[in-house]
Structure 1
């Protein structure tokens, strides 16, 4: 969010110098200020709350709950220092808002207090100054001064002041502490590596977290109940007392030992969390102190985010995950990229349509709210790779927030006047049993269930706080339906019938076709079968698309998964999407490639897409690219808004252009390739070897201009060669290496161990194209090489190429095509002659257009020459590209775009969509 300075001045003009009544205009004033100046959405009535009624018959004028701010308004002309009779005593406006603030539970108390009379603002920062003498530490400014300097209220848009930020901060802190406790407890187990001990330790940690949350959330019947229960217990007896506590938390109060006074304050929890008997190790004094002082007393567990903490908790306590990068979780912001376009945006729009329909009578509006609420309670969500449950948890939280908004409107003053004319109260509630999941890790299942329970308990608090509805916390009489199993081997129909499911969501595991474990490869074959075309080239995540497609058939289910972007590039589009489209699946919405930040403590940026799909969705199809949204008629397998096109490998170009070839493959165990040091040492020992040494480049050597050499022994003079024992020794090692292989091509190459397994020697200058190039570059670096340089198999070559071919290949048009069509090696572009180059539709330029492209191509080469000491890696670093080179590329891009007849302001998706139309025409001609 950014401050709109122009809107701030206009706001001040609208409101300054006039007389305004608090009762009539306070809400209008703040909505105008928040929306127009600070771009804060005011429709979220669980976070922007006007006229909140307190338990002491008070009224908070505005509570910006998520922004940790509370406002006390007065009419124009009212003295902000003058006491008024409120709740039986004389209070200044500051004292009124301060008393409201401190009457709230700790987790809900605001950091900022504001008093305002339409003319002046006074801001009190509890965050900066604390509560001592706070009234004397106000920052005061007029409405006119706010118009000139809206930064006075910049804390309203500071992410670090939001409740979400604090929840994230506390959740991460709590995760780190639980990880430390886990390590301390693990050392106390007799056999910590046994499966039983691992399971017991995981369950113990889950239970402790649940107790810590309940303690701080006031869900136990006594303040600091858990701490007090253990504080006087010797460390040696903590184990026995935890067993006693956990057992009783699963026993109804009437069935407990009536003489156990210490247990009486704890409720009957139920839900199954405390049912299993697990091994609890002995505690040391250090562990006791850490549990009670560091975890119980130093962290406010009521403020954790269930969505965030579930992921943190599961990854913190998973030794394998910790080795691979430590604590990580999927942020709520990224989860919303899935759930918002899939269902939440539509639900919010439906609610807003009811709320803002002024033509509806109160009775009809109330009945519409009732039906909408019944719809919320009927929706069923299924995550078939649910992990620690963060997608299900965030969805539950959002549904409860919508439910709150409905109930708030339903119970509003206006509505309640017509109670007698509408059937009863709304009794249904959004429940946990609307949520289903499958997860292969039993500990993650426990975490998911616990995160959802905590979400339920937090929402109960909100209902009590905001709606004065008494929702029963315990015993837990509902639970999510999450099972521990392999989702790729388990029949989803045995968990829930498709006819009952509304939406499938999730973030299934990523594993590229070349990086899968044996077990994952077996899963892939079990899902697709061995006869599925190019099954070995499919990513692991494709399994979920296939199973979801089968499961959804004949139903109105809509699904959306996060996936690596490779499933919408290269051969994956043909291998996965073509057969799925043939079965009737359509893509409803898509996020084009973006960096999915898992919030790992060691960042690992994964390039992802989100694909929403179904059989029968009739709504508007949308493509998201960053903050831009485009409505389209169709979304194809490349996530472009054009017709379904499937680009398959071609053996020769579809356009009338020279072919390109891959350089030679050595298959030599490094014996035919020489570093500069090895080359110098060889020539020093055997100067006659110079005749056999040629410059050599693979893709990385080419881009970085890193010198390497090779032994090139095609038509080598045998007498000279026999005088080079070092070379003969290398040839012998090549022979042994190739003979040790089980591959037919390598064994065949053993017949000529002095030569590359595949040889490519060029006799004129050629364009070199790296097979693999960083996705961070706007342009794949290409260049001319002289024929003395031997290209390796990570370089494609185009001999006798003109500046025209070079210009087109280096253009943004060709780059856009490459980005859309090429496969990926990790996240880098993997260029291909058969898939990318041979299918690329070249333009049909006029002679004049061709001449211009030749000039602009030469301009690129000339710009590079200005920096003779720089490698292509240096020149094409996106942050350091020389200005002359950037300008040269822009001129070349325009020239090539003109040759295609493309508008110069077309974006890459539009370019690729037009190229696909040309591709279809060209393939129809072949």
Structure 2
């Protein structure tokens, strides 16, 4: 089959199977039709096996379909069955369609195990690549199949190794842009000049548009751009390109009537892309000519790139250092949909499905037309637009809904007598603000490409040709600092419907002076004064504040991607307090912490949350997304749990009557009072009398990993004795010099160079590591004595007992910690002022307290059974000994009972109850 024939076959397949499909009645016909007519298999009945038998737990099951040649396993469901929903299976268990398919696959003989798993409900096809460590679905909607059928080549081709056709070619396109960028950069006389770099950016964008336009048929015929440039040798190529750019920006009636035919045949583009004739274009080289004519044109087809992915990849031609300091991070299509689906797309899809189910034709037609008008009236803003990923993917998603309306109307022949061009949705509905000039240009170009591709889908539905050029619409993307301009100047808030995006990820300690100034100019009270904590919040917070203020008294809904730190620790009160108090915002949905990845080669791994919010609290359902689960809740607080909106603020002492926690000792010695394990023997050999002044030193890492470290503990040391020990004296002098060369507060310590900055050495204490891996269910805390000096990477509770240990190591305290503590990336960052001092302790009976002491001792006893294992080993989720796990479970139950909690209470519900207890405790303090 030719590409044209296959594309037409895919179109016919879509029309035939749109809005129909029963698992029992139609599964065979669906896949035989697809294999035979779309994929070109001559005898499809010989190619695919239906109801292949497999034995699961002693019972014979039947796989819906299996293709032996390419090892593809298919699990088919009926139309309307959610592919992410758990369904009741035999044996009384509930599984998603993928889990059901994987269960079958796990029980196949090794040589028959599936390389690919497909699950489908006729309207959607989800593909899992079983060669990756954690298979995730690559989703294809039936209505997209005409453009995406190459993504299913693996069904008939054994050699297919990569699933996403769009992703693959988009990444290759980015590589080509990078080569062009580098080659041109070498030709500029002053490549460091900012104006030169702007010219280079514009030049690359124009070339990409031309390459795409000739492959997509926008210019009129394929290879038009290539053939024009091929007429010129390297020396004359620069002038030829300048002439072409000028022509592309001229209306046909305004052109020189004596233009050469090769130029005259190019259409007028419009849109401002070619408007600036003063950009600096350097001389070409043979390398550049070869790159454009061969690698970028002859060897590569630009027509199928994903504008959403490519926008981000294109932006990667920027200097990586600039990208890092600007806080920009690339966004995968999957992650974009985590934002836009619950914000508006799920509701729009549901509304369309309900309209299509209306059986009264006249009513359905009216509802469809009204719905299309609604789509064309919606307006979207991304105030940190970057390369336009969110705007582009949103435009594509809205246009696909519109195309489904057009398809439904067309299938009933309901468009007779209407305008030739049925498209009403326009990229002029999409607004953006972006500080980087190159990103602005890329974003506009990505939207133009998306517009072209979606118009092609409409043409395939209508069987008509539509004119893409000259560009009639323009994305309203403004080059500006979003924190310094009035968003109403971009689009008045009352005209807007949705705001979305992922503002820059810059922690407060990493902000440059301009970014700090931005924050302080935004986070101000009613009198215009910066909030006291404005200097200690992440940069992304400014977008939350500005957006909340902007949408006051409107129904605009917002969803932002953010670093998870704004939902943890001290930042929660600092960031969210003003938003709730000043603007009465409400959180409508939230994705709890996950890793935010991109489609670019240099992936940005960032621990993120997604928060949907607004001032309108009338949403039908509030949702919390955790991993792959969704929970419908009544309320979401800024810690992203179902609990009252409470801000846990830093306080200097515990709310409850419990022993005080303090931090360990900061050496502040430049390392000179510390003796590392590898230096210990040689030091003692040189200074044997120093043994009496040496103690073990421990912090979070040393304690958890059982590492030896030592220090000179010279509290109360006899000066006369110290004078007799030259090795100690040498270290004391180095400590003094280090302190003298430090900051002013450190210089004051130079008067006591024999001592740590603090000298806490209690006889016994509980040690609490301040940082610990998120993979551990329990932070490994424990008891130490005065022979071991704690550093400030741990907190200590002097003279605490076994009861305190039992409560603090329980799942109740750990649940509280996981919610309110700060994070270092995703690891726990414990805080005495936030976590410990605010923790609501139980009020146990004497019997309950004795039980906790008993179960706490059981934990310590279980640890002793493994003397050669570190706490890191013992608390590894995969290696935790059964005795220790059982001891913790018994302790958890004892503590839960002391609180009066049901032992089956979920962690989220447990924290919600603790929040209410905290609220009462704070009330009593006032």
Q: TM-score range by the shorter chain?
A: 0.7 to 0.9
Deviations 1:575-619 (A, max 9, x none): 121111012111122112222123453444311111111112411
Cα distance change, pair 409–600 in 1 and its aligned pair in 2 (3 A): closer
Deviations 1:707-726 (A, max 9, x none): 11111111101211111222
Moved more, 454-463 or 746-755: 746-755
Query: Is 1:299 matched up with 2:268?
Result: no
CA pair 216-414 structure 1, distance change in 2 beyond 3 A: closer
Asked if structure 2 preserves the Cα contact closer than 8 Å seen for 1:122 and 1:141, the reply is no
- The 3 A distance-change label for structure 1 pair 115 and 245 is farther
Q: Secondary structure at the match of 2:494?
A: helix
Q: What does the per-residue CA deviation read over 1:607-663, in whole Å, with 9 as the maximum and x for residues that have no partner?
A: 111111111241122222222222222221212222111111222222232221111
Contact 2:523–2:531 (Cα < 8 Å) also in 1: yes
Q: Secondary structure at the match of 2:42?
A: helix
2:500 is equivalent to residue 500 of structure 1: no
Cα deviation, residue 468, structure 1: 2.8
- 1:150 and 2:145 aligned: no
The aligned runs of 1:526-545 (5 Å cut-off) are 526-529=521-524, 531-545=530-544
The aligned residue for residue 78 of structure 2 is: none
Cα distance in 2 between the residues matched to 1:749 and 1:840: 34
Distance (whole Å) between structure 1 residues aligned to residue 326 and residue 294 of structure 2:
28
1:842 and 1:181 mapped to 2: Cα distance?
A: 64
Are 1:479 and 2:474 matched, yes or no?
yes
Structure 1 match to 2:154: none
Out of 413, 425, 438, the position equivalent to 1:443 is: 438
State the match for 1:601 in structure 2. 601
Q: For structure 1, which segment, 571-580 or 405-414, has the greater mean C-alpha deviation from structure 2 after superposition?
A: 405-414
* 1:286 pairs with 2:291: no
Which residue of structure 2 aligns with residue 171 of structure 1?
170
Name the SS for the 2:203 alignment partner: helix
Shift of residue 301 of structure 1? 1.0
> Higher mean Cα deviation, 648-657 or 398-407?
648-657
For 1:56 and 1:488, the matched residues in 2 are separated by 46
Partner Cα distance (1:888, 1:201) in 2 = 65
Q: Distance in 1 between matches of 2:31 and 2:478?
A: 59
Q: Distance in 2 between matches of 1:884 and 1:535?
A: 48
Q: Give the C-alpha shift of residue 923 in structure 1.
A: 2.5
Determine if the alignment matches structure 1 residue 673 to structure 2 residue 668.
no
CA contact (8 A) 2:675 2:709 kept: yes
Q: Does the aligned pair in 1 maintain the 2:329–2:504 contact within 8 Å?
A: no
Please list, as runs of the form range in 1=range in 2, the aligned pairs for 1:311-330 lying within 5 A after superposition.
311-320=312-321, 329-330=330-331
What is aligned with 1:651?
Answer: 652
| 3-state SS of paired residue (1:486) | coil
Contact 1:660 1:797 in 2 (8 A): yes
Structure 2 equivalent of residue 182 of structure 1 = 181
Give how far 1:428 is off.
Answer: 6.0
In structure 2, how many angstroms separate the alpha carbons of the residues matched to 1:814 and 1:826? 21
Q: Which runs of 5+ in 1 are unaligned?
A: 1-52, 77-113
TM-aligned CA distance change 1:116 to 1:675, over 3 Å? closer
3-state SS in 2 of match to 1:411:
helix
User: In the TM superposition, what are the counterparts of 1:219-618 in structure 2 within 5 Å?
Assistant: 219-257=218-256, 258-277=258-277, 278-320=279-321, 329-358=330-359, 361-413=360-412, 415=414, 429-529=424-524, 531-583=530-582, 584-618=584-618
Task: Tell me the CA shift for residue 868 of structure 1.
Answer: 2.4
**CA shift at 1:454, angstroms?**
0.4
- Write the mapping of 1:15-34 to structure 2, written as runs, cut at 5 A: none
SS at match of 1:151: strand
Describe the SS at the equivalent of 2:717. coil
- Alignment-derived partner of residue 191 in structure 2: 192
Aligned length: 819
CA distance in 1, matches of 2:324, 2:519: 26
- DSSP 3-state at the match of 1:710: strand
Query: Post-superposition shift, 1:446?
Result: 0.5
Once the 2 structures are TM-superposed, how far is the Cα of residue 706 of structure 1 from its aligned partner? Answer: 1.7
Deviations 1:852-893 (A, max 9, x none): 333332333233333322222233233443444334333333
User: Take 1:326 and 1:511, find their aligned partners in 2: how far apart are those partners?
Assistant: 6
CA-CA distance at 1:139 after TM superposition:
4.0
Separation (CA, whole Å) in 2 of partners of 1:504 and 1:118: 40
What TM-score, normalized by structure 2, do the two folds share?
A: 0.83
Match of 2:99 in 1: none
Distance 2:188 2:863 in 1: 64
Report the CA distance shift for 1:714/1:535 in structure 2 as closer, same or farther (over 3 A).
same
SS at match of 2:499: strand
Corresponding residue for residue 684 of structure 1: 685
Residues 435 and 787 from structure 1, CA distance in 2 versus in 1: closer, same or farther, beyond 3 angstroms? Answer: same
Residues 1:63 and 2:58 aligned together: no
CA distance in 1, matches of 2:326, 2:556: 35
Tell me what 2:863 maps to.
864
1:175 shift after superposition: 0.9
Could you say which residue in structure 2 is the equivalent of 1:7?
none
The gaps in structure 2 that reach 5 residues or longer are: 54-61, 74-115, 119-125, 130-137, 141-147, 152-163
Structure 2 SS opposite 1:624:
strand
1:135 aligns with 2:42: yes
Residues of 1 paired with 2:430 and 2:335: CA distance?
A: 20
Shift of 1:407: 1.8
In structure 1, distance between residues paired with 2:705 and 2:542: 39
Which deviates further from its counterpart, 272-281 or 327-336? 327-336
Is 1:908 the counterpart of 2:859? The answer is no
Cα distance in 2, alignment partners of residues 310 and 369 from structure 1? 32
The residue that corresponds to 1:695 in the other structure is: 696
* 8 A Cα contact 2:770 2:795, kept in partner: yes
Cα distance in structure 2, aligned partners of 1:57 and 1:785: 75
What's the CA shift for 1:283?
A: 2.3
Q: Which whole-Å CA distance do the structure 1 matches of 2:422 and 2:493 have between them?
A: 27
- Deviation at 1:137? 8.5
| Aligned equivalents of 1:858, 1:343: Cα separation in 2 | 53
In 2: Cα distance, 1:56 partner to 1:303 partner:
13
Deviations 1:93-131 (A, max 9, x none): xxxxxxxxxxxxxxxxxxxxx99669978946998xxx7
Give the Cα separation in 1 of the matches to 2:240 and 2:317. 26
Deviations 1:23-64 (A, max 9, x none): xxxxxxxxxxxxxxxxxxxxxxxxxxxxxx999999965239
Task: Provide the rounded CA distance (Å) in 1 between the counterparts of 2:862 and 2:364.
Answer: 68
The 2-side partners of 1:512 and 1:664 are apart by: 27
Q: Give the CA deviation at 1:567.
A: 0.7
CA distance in 2, matches of 1:485, 1:492: 10
The alpha carbon displacement at 1:896 in A equals 2.4
1:877 aligns with 2:876: yes
- The 3-state SS of whatever aligns with 1:669 is coil
Quick check: 1:606–1:827 contact (8 Å CA) kept in 2?
A: no
* Cα displacement (A) at 1:793: 0.8
Work out whether residues 326 and 601 of structure 1, in 8 Å CA contact, stay in contact via their aligned partners in 2: no
Per the alignment, residue 93 of structure 2 pairs with none
How far apart, CA to CA, are the structure 2 residues paired with 1:466 and 1:908? 50
Is contact 2:762–2:799 with CA below 8 Å preserved after alignment?
A: no
In structure 1, the residue matched to 2:664 is 663
CA contact (8 A) 2:52 2:66 kept: no
Whole-angstrom CA distance in 1 between matches of 2:591 and 2:27: 43
Aligned partners of 2:320, 2:715: CA distance in 1, in Å? Answer: 53
For 1:674 and 1:543, how far apart are their aligned partners in 2?
45
Contact (CA 8 Å) 2:421, 2:466: kept in 1 or not? no
**Separation in 2 of the partners of 1:871 and 1:57?**
64
Q: Distance in 2 between matches of 1:730 and 1:457?
A: 72
